[in-house]
Structure 1
Amino acid sequence: MARILIGVVAVLLVAHVVTVTIVGDGEPGWLARRFDMNGEYGFPAGFSALLLGTCGLVCFRLRSLHERVQGGDHWRWVLVGACMLFAAVDEAFMIHERAGGIPSEWFDLPEFLRLDWVVFAIPPLLLLAALLVPWILRLPRWLSVRMLLAAVLFVGGAVGVETISGQFTDTWGVYTVAATVEELLEMAGAILFLITLLRYWEVLATASTGRADHDAVLSSTPRTPTRIGDAGPARG
């Protein structure tokens, strides 16, 4: 699946580059806007929204699997899933872009916050980090590393690179390159997160069937789960 998703991103990127090269800084037509990674209601935005929405639905499923295998209330999976679904809706309808301009009407913001929706984004992100990072670090190491890397890629693109690109809105070439890098980072983070979630789903499903040692499976990578029969010689 990873190769298919990466292939889709490559096709979208090539189409975007061709579109940008042909249109330049002129007014794009209807078809050109569909392939513009920086535009709304295009194929790239739809693909990203689909990725994020799928991540959210998988998180909801992992919550029930995790509860079945380990017991307890794993509400953080629901929180992560809800955040993914919100990100999908935001990507599809560009909610954060439409919220831009509101904070600057209330506060005298510095120049680097030209994209002033970031003011709204930082407090929730810090709160989510405080709630989720300690929990993620308690998950199996292979899972926590990939989840954190996916978060760094996505948030780094959505907030970090977009904040930088906002400084060059008057310079078409620089802004276009920066905005394209932003979208690619978001897609990379979403793909890594989705593949990681699906692999963890496989691990939990294996543990829930009783075909493998519970603790060994949860702590191993999905490629090399420890089977009961491989744990050692049978005791008579």
Structure 2
Amino acid sequence: MRMLYENSTKTNKIIFSLVVAWLTLWLANAIQDITIWLTGTSAKIWVLDLDFEESFYTWFSTVMLSAAAFMCFFLSLKDHGQTKNVRTQWRILGSLFFLLSADEMLSFHERISGMLSTSFTTSGMFEFAWVIPALIIIPIFFFLFFPFIRHLHTHVSYTIIIAGAIFVFGAVGMEMIAGIFISENNSQDDVFTSPMYRFLVNIEEGLEVLGVIVFIKALLMQAEIYFPEIQKRKEP
């Protein structure tokens, strides 16, 4: 797979559209938060709240994760000179992203935090207890999949690593930072609606979806390598 690669106009257009959609939804929430802080109003349009499970942002995030899952399965379908092991790893990645998309709506990680919290007390960076197993699983997952990532085109490999770093820092890193803030301010009744907590949530959710979009770019790049006719087809 080590061959010359150049982003096609189609891939760039798709990613640009996704980034515009992501920024629009993210900014809608940010503007609403700023308005609430400045005016002191308690009124909120919940479908614009990115931390609300039934919001447009959560729906968009779920769609992005599901799209990434479908693309991983698609890349594993046909024989492109891949070994059986490589096709299997694409399928494992697809299954992982389906689980992440389900978690976005069903919040499995919060239930894990609840179960762990009943067994032992956590605070500080481990206030949200689900980050503990995540910090164990993520390095293992990375080392198991690193040979697979290296097998891909250099540009695709780097893009996947960047996407993973953005997503993990947003999902786990920012959750740990938010946990520290909550532990230090847990005596405040409005800690979860405070400007600082909302700022941390905005960064966390924003980085998660941005990471998925970067990953989708890597998948589109790999699809163009598997299917060179995509690049050869005349652009409109």
TM-score range, shorter chain: 0.7 to 0.9
3-state secondary structure, aligned to 2:227: helix
2:150–2:157 contact (8 Å) kept in structure 1: yes
Unaligned runs of 5+ in 1: 210-221, 225-236
Task: Give the root-mean-square deviation of aligned CA atoms.
Answer: 2.1
Give the alignment's TM-score, normalised by structure 2.
Answer: 0.80
Q: Is the CA contact (8 Å cut-off) linking 1:153 and 1:188 kept in structure 2?
A: yes
CA separation of 1:33 and 1:99: change in aligned 2, threshold 3 A: farther
Match of 1:198 in 2: 220
Structure 1 match to 2:207: 185
- Report the Cα offset of residue 26 of structure 1: 6.3
What is the TM-score normalised by the length of structure 1? 0.80
- TM superposition shift of 1:27: 4.9
Residues 152-207 of structure 1, C-alpha deviation per residue, up to 9 Å, x if partnerless? 1111100011111122234411111111011111111111111210121121012x
Shift of 1:98: 3.1
Equivalent residue for 1:51, pick from 64, 71, 85: 64
Q: Is the 8 A contact 1:41 1:93 kept in 2?
A: no
Contact 2:153–2:222 (CA under 8 A) maintained in structure 1: no
Distance 2:43 2:107 in 1: 19
The answer to whether the aligner puts 1:70 opposite 2:92 as a matched pair is no
Q: Which has the higher contact order (CA 8 A, sep 6+)?
A: 2
1:136 maps onto 2:133 in alignment? no
> What does 1:79-94 align with in structure 2 at a 5 Å threshold?
79-94=92-107
Question: 1: CA distance between counterparts of 2:41 and 2:122?
Answer: 31
Q: Does 1:116 align with 2:129?
A: yes
- 49-58 vs 109-118, which deviates more? 109-118
Q: Report the Cα offset of residue 110 of structure 1.
A: 4.6
Q: Considering only CA atoms, is the larger Rg found in Structure 1 or Structure 2?
A: 1
Structure 2 residues without counterparts, runs of 5 or longer: 1-13, 186-190
Q: Which residue of 2 aligns with 1:161?
A: 174
Q: Percent identity?
A: 25
Dislocated runs of 4+, deviation >3 Å: 22-29
